[in-house]
Chain A
């Protein structure tokens, strides 16, 4: 069964600290993996998208990694800011390219405290 599992479910860190969010997937065939950021009361916004051949991709203070062999991805946030408080959702697209085959994780809720 195609599944995307994220951990931890929630995380509290102090401003300025780093953190890493995990995503494990059992989706096959694999097309790409994306990380979305969802602020409270708003729709998800894409942070990064990674294809099979990409291991690491950065977007400012966000760095995503992908290990296609172990079917794991991580999102590392450096020097966290209060505005990083949000839910982070890992999404895997199955091969075939149809948007209808997006498999969503349930997200990690990150709280950054001053």
Chain B
């Protein structure tokens, strides 16, 4: 298995533009997580899905952020409109259960 696959690896966009981050979890994993990592705050959970259903989205910072998981093999995290303070590395992770989370390589987002 190729692991958790995220795209794009890097994204540079102008303030106000829509940004869509994509994630393909490991096949067979029933949980999927979106995290944001910054130097100041470390890793923060944004939202997680179990069996494609959003379970906890309390970490989503604002209404500008939305996440979807239309099927077991794909998820998106959308920011609309983007702002410079959204600049961070966004990680997607998947898990077959409660003990291990396998992280993707991350998407480095820069909003100018």
Alpha-carbon distance between A49 and B100 when the two chains are bound, in angstroms: 8
Tell me the bound Cα distance from A41 to B4 in angstroms. 15
A44 vs B35: C-alpha distance when bound (angstroms)? 11
Q: Chain B contacts of A49 at CB under 8 A?
A: 99-100
Q: In the complex, are the beta carbons of B43 and A89 less than 8 A apart?
A: yes
State how many residues of chain B have any CB contact under 8 Å with chain A: 23
Name the distance in Å between A111's Cβ and chain B's nearest Cβ.
16
Question: How far apart sit A74 and B81, CA to CA, in the bound complex (Å)?
Answer: 42
Determine if B48 and A104 form an interchain contact, defined as CB atoms under 8 angstroms apart.
Answer: no
Number of A-B contacts (CB under 8 A): 47
* B53 contacts across to A, CB distance below 8 A: none
- On chain B, the residues within 8 Å of A93 by CB distance are 98
Please, which residue of chain B has its CB at the minimum distance from the CB of A6? B42
- Per the bound structure, the CA–CA distance linking A107 and B89 in Å amounts to 15
Q: Is A100 an interface residue (CB 8 A)?
A: yes
Interface size class of chain A, counting residues whose CB lies under 8 Å from the partner chain: 10 to 19
Residues of chain A contacted by B102 (CB below 8 angstroms) = 46
Given contacts A32-B99, A49-B99, A99-B95, contact A43 B104 (CB under 8 A): yes
Complex Cα distance, B44 from A59, in Å, reads 26
| Inter-subunit contact A102/B45 (CB<8 Å) | yes
Kindly state whether residue B82 has any CB partner on chain A within 8 Å.
no
Contact indicator per residue, chain B 54-97, by CB within 8 Å of chain A (1) or not (0)? 01100000000000000000000000000000000001010100
Using CB atoms and an 8 Å cutoff, list the residues of chain B in contact with chain A.
4, 31, 33, 41-45, 48, 55-56, 91, 93, 95, 98-106
Which A residues fall within an 8 A CB radius of B?
A: 32, 41-46, 49, 89, 93, 97-100, 102, 104-107
